[in-house]
Structure 1
Amino acid sequence: MDPASLTKLLSPAGQELLGQLPPYSERSVLHVSEQLRARGVDADLVAAALTQSRLRARARAKFGERADAMVFTPDGLEQATRHVVALQHARRYADAGCRLVADLGCGLGGDALALSELGVPVLAVEADATTAALAAANLRPYPTATVRPGDALALDLAAAGVDAVFADPARRAGGRRVFDPAAYSPPLDAVLALRARVAALGVKVAPGVPYAALPADAHARWVSVDGDVVEAGLWFGAVAPEGPGRSAVLLTGGRADVLAEREDAAGAHAPDAPARTGEVRAPGGVLYEPDGAVIRAGLVARVGELLGAGLLSEGIAYLTGDRLVATPFATAYRVLDHFPFALKPLRAYLRARDVGALTIKKRGTAVEPEQLRRQLALKGSRPATIVLTRLGGRHSVLVVEPA
C-alpha cells in the first residue's frame, strides 16, 4: 500500500467508508466499486477500502470479529499471530506481572493487541513505516499501547523502562519461508542476546526450528490450533515458569491441553536433547496418530506412556496399543487389518470390499497418495482409510477406521 492510499484509508473519511461497506463478496465487489465511484468517491480510496474489506473477511479466521475494526496488508495478515495463540503469549506476561513489554517486530500489532486486552502495557516497534502506521491504527483503542517505527534491536530497553520483551523476527524473504534461524530478520542469535539486558524474553520461531538451535535455558513450546501446527515459541526468565525443556499446547474449541515430559525423565529439561525413543510393538487393535505439535516437541514417547502404547516402527510417529484410550494428544483409529504393501494385492483387497472413496495416510514411505489413488482406480460405493508405513522394516498397509 502506497503512503498516499494509506493516508486516505486512515483518514476519518476512509474509516467512515470502511464502516459503510457491505460484507465482502467476490460477486458484488465490482458493483460496489462502480457505485462508489459514481458517487464521486476517490478511486484510490475505493480500491484501498475494498482491499481492506477483502482482507478483513480473511482475517476473521485469525481475529474473529475484531478483524472488522482492523486494517491489514496481505503479507502482514499472512504472518500475524492468531488471536487465540497471541492470548497464550500475553498471559505469560500478565501472570509474570510485567510492567512494560517491548513487542519487537510487532507487524500489524496482533500480539500487542492481546497484551493490551489483558491490561499489559506494551511498546510496539516495527521497522516498516506503513506496517507501523497500520499497527498504530489497530491499537488506537488501547491507551496502554504505543507504536514506534524503527529498528527493533536499536531500542534502548533500559531508557524506555522495558522489563520484558516479545520478539517475532521475520521468517520470510522474497516471498519464501526462511527455515535457518541465522537467516531470520533479525537473526535468532541477535534476538536471543537481548536476554542479557532483559531476562523475561519470548521469541516466536518457525515450528521446524532444530533442537540444536535451542539455548539450554529456554522453554520451547510448539502450538497447534485445531490440529494445525502454527508456531513454536522460546520462553525465558519470568515468562517461562515451566523452566527449561520442551512442551506442546493444543488449542481446540477454546480449550488448551498441555503436554510436557515427565518430571523424572532423564534429560527432560534439556531443550536441545534428542527426542526420546519408545518401545516398538507389533500392531495392536488401536492406532494413534499424535498431533503435529506433539511430534515437533519430541513427545511421541511421552504420549505412548500415557496411552500404554508403543511405536509401530522406530523413528515413525505412529503409536499402537491394545485398548482405546481417550486423549487430546492423538487421533485414534481401530486397526481392522494389516499386510505388506504391494499394488495388486492392495487393489484386489479394496475392490473385494467395494471400496470407492479412499483416505490415504502415510509416514515413512515415499508413496504419493494421489498417484496411488489413480493406480488403484477404485469404483466401489464404500469408504475406507488406509495407513502406509513400515512394520518390521517392511513397507506395509494398515486398514483402519476412526475410533
Structure 2
Amino acid sequence: MSTSQPAPHPLTVGEGPMALERALAQPDPDSLTAASALRRLVAPELAALALEQASLRRRARSKFGDRAADMLFTATGLEQATRPEVSAWRADTFAEGCSRVLDLGCGLGFDALAMGRAGLGVDAVELDPLTASCAQHNLASVKGRVLVGDAASAVPAVMDGGVLVFVDPARRSSTGRSWRLEDLSPGWDFVLSLRQRCDRLVVKLGPGISRSLLPDDLGRHWVSHEGTLVEVCLATDVGEGPAVDRVVVLRGGRRYELVGRGLGRLPVEDVGEYLHEPDPAVIRSQLYAEACSGTNAWLVDHDVAYLSSDGPLDTPLVTSFRVLESIPWSVRTLRAWCREHRIGTLEIKKRGLDVDPAELRRQLKLKGSASATVVLTPTPRGTRALVCERVPRSP
C-alpha cells in the first residue's frame, strides 16, 4: 500500500467551519433538536460530523482542557489518545539527541505534537483517512507532515541519523480491545524489526500486556497518571548501558521516576503498624524493593501487592494507611465489628480475595453515623480485615 497526503478535514473547508460553529453553539449537540436545526443549514452528512465534533470536544476537555477547543477528534481516536502529561514526559525523555520523529500510527497526532514542541521535525503516518485529516489539523502548529497509509509502506529501508521512530500499535481485535501481542497492528515482528533501522525506537503499549512478554533489550517504563496505570512504554535507552525497568508516576503536575536496580524480592512478614498500597506502576513493574529502598518495609504476602512497615514511608510511590486494628476475616466478624462501632459508611479495599465490595456492604447491613476503612488481605496469620486510617500523602 502506498502513502498519500490526507484530504482536508470536511470541517475546515467550504461550509465546514460554519457548520462546526453552529454545532458548538448547540446546548446539547447530541439531541434531535440540534440535528434538525443544523440540517436546515447544511447537508445531513456535514451536520452529523459537526455535531459529533462538538460532542467530542466537550468530552475531550477532561483530558485536554482548554486546548480541546482548537483540536479535531474522532471517537476512537479520543478514547485511545495519550494524555498530554504523558506525551510531554515521553518527548522530554526521548527527544534529546534526535532531529526528527517518524510517528507510525499517529492517531490524532498528540504524541507527535509533543515531539514537535520539543524541537523535532515531525513525519506522521495514519491508516484511517479521517483520523489522518484530524492529525494534520492538530499538527499545524509544529508544521507536522501527515501521510495516509500503513506503517510498513512509510518506513524507508535506510533512515538518516537522528530519527526517532515512535509506534503506538492499534490494540483491538474483532472482539474488542486486546492485550495480546499477536493482535497488534502494525504487527509485533515488524515493530521489533525497527530496532535495527533507526537511532531510537519508542513503543507505546497497553498496560495489560504481560510483563513476561516484553523484550528485555528495550527499556521498559510503566507509566501512571493521577493514580491510573495508562501504559508501558518500551524504548531504546538514552545513554549507554543495559536496558532497565523504570516506574514513571505523573501526579499533580509533578513527575516521579524510579529505576530498577535488581534488588530482588522483599521478605514476607506479618502486618506492622503501617500498610502501604504501591502505585499501580510499581505493582505492574514489581519494583517493590526499589520503591521502598532504604526502609525496613516488607510484603504481607508473596502474591499480594501490599507492603507493611513499623514506621511511615516517605515516598510518593505508595498510599499509606495506619493500621488501627486487625481482626480475623469473615463476614460475621466484620459485621459484628461494624455493629459495635456503629459504622454506616465503610470503604473496602482488598487484594488476593474473591470479594465483591458492593455485595459485602449489603451483607454487613451497615447502620450508624461513623465511617471506617477496612483492608482485606492474606497475611502470614491468615486472611485479616485491617481497620485503617489514611496517612496524608507525601508531596
> Shared fold (TM-score greater than 0.5)?
yes
Q: Return the alpha-carbon distance in structure 2 between the equivalents of residues 107 and 231 of structure 1.
A: 16
- Please say if residues 93 and 120 of structure 1, whose CA atoms lie closer than 8 Å, have aligned partners that are also in contact: no
Q: Return the alpha-carbon distance in structure 2 between the equivalents of residues 292 and 23 of structure 1.
A: 40
Counterpart residue identity of residue 251, structure 2: T
Unpaired segments ≥5 residues, structure 1: 267-275
Partner of 2:79: 78
**Structure ranking higher on relative contact order (CA contacts 8 Å, 6+ apart):** 2
How many residues were matched structurally?
A: 384
Report Cα offsets for 1:323-360 as digits up to 9, x if no partner: 11332100011101112111111101111101011111
Report Cα offsets for 1:376-398 as digits up to 9, x if no partner: 11111111111111011622211
Partner of 2:384: 396
2:164 counterpart of 1:164:
yes
Q: Return the alpha-carbon distance in structure 2 between the equivalents of residues 182 and 51 of structure 1.
A: 33
2:177 counterpart of 1:189:
no
- 1:175 shift after superposition: 5.6
Q: Return the alpha-carbon distance in structure 1 between the equivalents of residues 45 and 148 of structure 2.
A: 25
Q: Return the alpha-carbon distance in structure 2 between the equivalents of residues 102 and 86 of structure 1.
A: 15
Off by >6 Å, runs of 4+ in structure 1: none
- Please say if residues 164 and 198 of structure 1, whose CA atoms lie closer than 8 Å, have aligned partners that are also in contact: yes
Q: Return the alpha-carbon distance in structure 2 between the equivalents of residues 128 and 114 of structure 1.
A: 21
2:301 counterpart of 1:302:
no
Residue 386 of structure 2 aligns to a residue in which SS? strand
Partner of 1:347: 335
More off after superposition, 7-16 vs 52-61: 7-16
Report Cα offsets for 1:297-328 as digits up to 9, x if no partner: 11122223344311111121101111113321
Partner of 1:14: 16
Partner of 1:233: 233
Report Cα offsets for 1:4-41 as digits up to 9, x if no partner: x9853231431244245546754885444444445x33
Q: Return the alpha-carbon distance in structure 2 between the equivalents of residues 285 and 22 of structure 1.
A: 55
Residue 305 of structure 2 aligns to a residue in which SS? strand
More off after superposition, 224-233 vs 126-135: 126-135
Within-5 A mapping of 1:4-403: 8-19=10-21, 21-22=23-24, 25-26=27-28, 29-38=31-40, 40-95=41-96, 97-143=97-143, 145-157=144-156, 161=160, 163-174=163-174, 176-238=176-238, 243-262=242-261, 265=262, 276-392=264-380, 394-403=382-391
- Please say if residues 348 and 373 of structure 2, whose CA atoms lie closer than 8 Å, have aligned partners that are also in contact: yes
Distance change >3 Å, CA 93–CA 304, structure 1 → 2 = closer
Residue 383 of structure 2 aligns to a residue in which SS? strand
Q: What TM-score do you get using the length of structure 1 for normalisation?
A: 0.89
- 1:100 shift after superposition: 1.5
- Please say if residues 199 and 237 of structure 1, whose CA atoms lie closer than 8 Å, have aligned partners that are also in contact: no
- 1:94 shift after superposition: 2.6
- Please say if residues 268 and 301 of structure 2, whose CA atoms lie closer than 8 Å, have aligned partners that are also in contact: yes
Distance change >3 Å, CA 25–CA 229, structure 1 → 2 = farther
Residue 141 of structure 1 aligns to a residue in which SS? helix
Report Cα offsets for 1:172-231 as digits up to 9, x if no partner: 123622111122112223201111111310001121222332223211001111000000
Q: Return the alpha-carbon distance in structure 1 between the equivalents of residues 77 and 240 of structure 2.
A: 31
Distance change >3 Å, CA 365–CA 92, structure 1 → 2 = same
- Please say if residues 321 and 390 of structure 2, whose CA atoms lie closer than 8 Å, have aligned partners that are also in contact: yes
Q: Return the alpha-carbon distance in structure 2 between the equivalents of residues 301 and 255 of structure 1.
A: 22
